[in-house]
Amino acid sequence: MLNILDFDKEEIPIGTGALPLNLTPGTELALTSIFLNISSTNIDILLSATVGWEVQLLNQTIIPKLVFRIRRGGPGTSSPIVYQTQDSQYLPDFQQFIMPINFNTSFDHSENPSPSIVGSYQQYYLTVQHIGIGDVAIIGPVNLTGMILG
């Protein structure tokens, strides 16, 4: 029988904190982080994330493309990537008027820890990088949840 050995969650509701957060293309930004106690190699690490984002629909074709990552140890490019996924939309030119369009990206990841991190608390960061065309803002909610099962 599995037991929850550790749990952490960070939730940033729509419009709170620094939200909305306009993204600069090419720059990877940390959105939030959690800590988990890695007690053994015989455990499962479960991570879940949800991010609400918005594009401004203009009179030109835009293709927003976001890379979401979970990194361990720090938000920067030198920290290892635990999981990575992309989300994008194709939005043809819209001749009527300017309007925002909202999207949500959610994903789950599970893994077993490497022996090198056993016996420590590890910080997991949810990051985002805009690599597409168009103006994109993170509007929320932003959620990162982690649990240790053993």
Domain boundaries, the chain: 28-149
Q: What are phi and psi of 115, to 5 degrees?
A: -55, -25
Per-residue pLDDT at 96: 61
Contact 68, 51 (CB under 8 A): yes
Tell me the CATH number for domain 28-149.
2.60.120.40
Structure confidence at residue 137 as a pLDDT band (50, 70, 90): very high
- Mean pLDDT, residues 103-120 taken together: 96
pLDDT class of 132 with cuts at 50, 70, 90: confident
Q: Identify the three-state secondary structure at position 116.
A: helix
Instruction: Give the single-character DSSP code of 40.
Output: -
